[in-house]
Chains A and B, each alone.
Chain A
Amino acid sequence: MDVLFEPLSYAFFNKGLIVATLSGALLGFIGVFIVLRGMSYIGHGLSHSIFGGFAASQLFAAQFYMLGAGLWGVASAIAITTVARKGRVGADAAIGVITTASFALGVALFAKFGTSGPSFENALFGSILGISIQQIIGLVAVSILAAVFVFLRYRALIFSTFDPDVADVSGVRVARLEAMLMIVLSLAILATLTVIGVTLVAAMLVIPAVIGRMLTDSFGKMLAWSTGIGMFCGFVGMYASYYAGVPSGTMIVLVGAAIFVIVLAITGSRGLRRSAGLDKHHDVAELAPVVTR
């Protein structure tokens, strides 16, 4: 039991454990909608894009760098959607250009000017060091926002994820709902960036949701499984990170990957059949109906 309690004597670990557990739950929760909409690539791109905002904001407004990075992420999400909707450039290309350019800018700014916040490596792969109370409050606030958003728009979210065209003619404002989901996604990535890391956030959006899909055929149960698995990955991964002495994000993702393998072994072909087609990419422009009424 000492193995479990010994790290808890350190304040930094306690904060890290809370943030990692909550981050896993939040990403697992939002990840269900991202994966089922075939938007995994957008999650991946946005996390890289936010890294650029993270670096730039530290230079120009160090005290408000989280706010700056958040606005940068939301702006990137809107830019991707707008460029893709114009139809001249596909969503893949829009994400590829906008997010990698933003990421490259972040790397250049880090290299040239350094940082007053997390180190380059910590920003990329996550760290449990230096987590502030403000960050915990921010993460709790984003988690509550995400939960309230999904709770109040649950049926419309399922409808527009499953069948956007019919949802639109049935009175669901699909384009607006999608924009709100993108904003919640941006905020979730931003709030979890510190512990999970830029390069690994996308994995935590995908892995718990895919495992959840392998375990059930019900949307509500998949949401519960994915949130619980994300939470478990964050909790166990944080302990593993402490004892292995490696970045927290890597261990959280590795725990998720291990659970995936175990669930795959247990569910076999049924699990594979359930998760088939989850990697189908939906073009952003395709997701929105032609005209709303």
Chain B
Amino acid sequence: MTGTGVGEILVRLDHVSARYDKQIVLDHVDFHVHEDQFTGIVGPSGAGKTTLLRLLLGTLKPVAGTLTTEPDLRVAYVPQLETVDWNFPITVFECVLMSRTHGRRLPWASAAERARVMSVLDRLGIADLAQRHIRELSGGQQQRMFLARALLREPQLLLLDEPTSGVDVSTRHDILHLLGDLHEDGVAIVLTTHDLNGMAAHLPHLVCVNKRIVADGPPAEVITPAVLEETFGARMEVLEHLGMLVVVDGAPEIRTEAM
């Protein structure tokens, strides 16, 4: 089972297993990331979504199988907002600039670097917040800041851990549209999420994970009650509304009760 993208393969996992201590978290997973990939990894908590991202990042070694990465691949990673120390003393500008660790080593930004940072912030619509402390941003602005930090590296592959977690519906749409634009520009994107409905509406390719890859493909093929029950271990109903798939969790079981 692989990603359905086309073009050159950037990262490939063949029969890969991963574990923390002695507990297997992913078991014999095959997953290929192509240069035009735009994929959402969905699954319940503890299913191995973040582990799959860590394998793609190279911060976790497989205990079995092979992990192959294209030489000199530029990968950027956007962490979960919940894991960030929002009290850390940095401004938005400083946060974005910190990813520029190659080349110039001086503490302060050169004129070219300053222009580049401001250009990325401007593209993401937060240039006017450059001198604000990171704690003063809204959830959507915080996500954009980390996207800016990632984009400054001009990545070929962008990995995001729960980018739509903890933001409102409008911000979620903005973020997913923004990722769509980046994908159009040629950046391969893989993200994890709990947000089935958002993914079904915006992403061309989904992977359902629960210790193994349960299913992958376009949302219309993957978002089915059978696949979702196998992935999440719970009954879910899938409705179609104005051509869009809508997942309703906690679908009632049919019961016959004695009156």
**A binding-site residues for B, Cβ under 8 Å:** 36, 151-156, 158-159, 161-163, 165-172, 213, 216-222, 273-274, 276-278, 280, 289-293
Report yes or no: B98 in contact with A159, Cβ–Cβ below 8 A.
yes
Residues of chain A within 8 A of B106, CB atoms compared: 151, 154
Is there a chain A Cβ closer than 8 Å to B60's Cβ?
A: yes
Residues of chain A within 8 A of B183, CB atoms compared: none
Question: Roughly how many angstroms separate A89 CA and B107 CA in the complex, as a whole number?
Answer: 37
Question: Roughly how many angstroms separate A219 CA and B134 CA in the complex, as a whole number?
Answer: 12
Given A170-B153, A220-B107, A277-B85, A162 and B98 contact (CB-CB distance below 8 Å): yes
Is there a chain A Cβ closer than 8 Å to B126's Cβ?
A: no
Report yes or no: A166 in contact with B87, Cβ–Cβ below 8 A.
no
A–B pairs, 6, beta carbons within 8 Å: A155-B98, A155-B101, A158-B94, A219-B88, A219-B94, A220-B94
B103 to chain A, nearest CB (A): 10
A170 to chain B, nearest CB (A): 6
Is there a chain A Cβ closer than 8 Å to B172's Cβ?
A: no
Residue from A163, A219, A274 within 8 A of B79 (CB atoms):
A163
Given A222-B89, A276-B87, A170 and B95 contact (CB-CB distance below 8 Å): no
B87 to chain A, nearest CB (A): 5
Report yes or no: A293 in contact with B85, Cβ–Cβ below 8 A.
no
Residues of chain B within 8 A of A165, CB atoms compared: 59, 77, 79
> Quick one: which of B59-114 are within 8 Å of A by CB?
59-61, 75-77, 79, 84-85, 87-91, 94-95, 97-102, 105-107
Q: Pick from A168, A170, A276, A278 the residue with the most CB of B within 10 Å.
A: A170
Residues of chain B within 8 A of A220, CB atoms compared: 94, 107
Report yes or no: A289 in contact with B85, Cβ–Cβ below 8 A.
no
Report yes or no: B58 in contact with A169, Cβ–Cβ below 8 A.
yes
Report yes or no: B90 in contact with A218, Cβ–Cβ below 8 A.
yes
Question: Roughly how many angstroms separate A277 CA and B90 CA in the complex, as a whole number?
Answer: 15
Residue from B59, B77, B87 within 8 A of A290 (CB atoms):
B59
Question: Roughly how many angstroms separate A218 CA and B97 CA in the complex, as a whole number?
Answer: 13
Tell me how many residues of B have a C-beta within 8 Å of chain A: 31
Task: Please name the 5 residue pairs, one residue from A and one from B, whose CB atoms are nearest each other, closest first.
Answer: A154-B107, A293-B58, A217-B133, A159-B98, A169-B57
Report yes or no: A291 in contact with B89, Cβ–Cβ below 8 A.
no
Question: Roughly how many angstroms separate A263 CA and B88 CA in the complex, as a whole number?
Answer: 19
Report yes or no: B59 in contact with A162, Cβ–Cβ below 8 A.
no
A221 to chain B, nearest CB (A): 8
Residues of chain B within 8 A of A280, CB atoms compared: 85
Question: Roughly how many angstroms separate A188 CA and B184 CA in the complex, as a whole number?
Answer: 51
Report yes or no: B101 in contact with A171, Cβ–Cβ below 8 A.
yes
Report yes or no: B89 in contact with A216, Cβ–Cβ below 8 A.
yes
Residues of chain B within 8 A of A158, CB atoms compared: 90, 94, 98
Is there a chain A Cβ closer than 8 Å to B235's Cβ?
A: no
Report yes or no: B89 in contact with A274, Cβ–Cβ below 8 A.
yes
Residues of chain A within 8 A of B102, CB atoms compared: 171
Chain B residue with Cβ nearest A168:
B59
Given A151-B107, A158-B90, A274-B87, A170 and B76 contact (CB-CB distance below 8 Å): yes
Given A162-B88, A220-B94, A276-B87, A155 and B100 contact (CB-CB distance below 8 Å): yes
Chain A residue with Cβ nearest B21:
A87
Report yes or no: A152 in contact with B105, Cβ–Cβ below 8 A.
yes
Residue from A36, A154, A292, A293 within 8 A of B88 (CB atoms):
A36
A28 to chain B, nearest CB (A): 15
B120 to chain A, nearest CB (A): 15
Is there a chain A Cβ closer than 8 Å to B212's Cβ?
A: no
A222 to chain B, nearest CB (A): 5
Residue from A172, A274, A293 within 8 A of B101 (CB atoms):
A172
Question: Roughly how many angstroms separate A278 CA and B57 CA in the complex, as a whole number?
Answer: 29
Chain B residue with Cβ nearest A32:
B89
Sample of 20 more A-B contacts, CB < 8 Å, known A162-B95, A291-B59: A151-B106, A151-B107, A153-B105, A155-B101, A155-B107, A158-B94, A159-B98, A162-B88, A165-B77, A167-B101, A168-B59, A169-B59, A170-B101, A213-B89, A217-B90, A220-B107, A222-B89, A277-B87, A280-B85, A290-B60
Q: Pick from B84, B89, B90 the residue with the most CB of A within 10 Å.
A: B89
Is there a chain A Cβ closer than 8 Å to B54's Cβ?
A: yes
B254 to chain A, nearest CB (A): 46
Report yes or no: B85 in contact with A162, Cβ–Cβ below 8 A.
yes
A253 to chain B, nearest CB (A): 23
Question: Roughly how many angstroms separate A247 CA and B59 CA in the complex, as a whole number?
Answer: 49
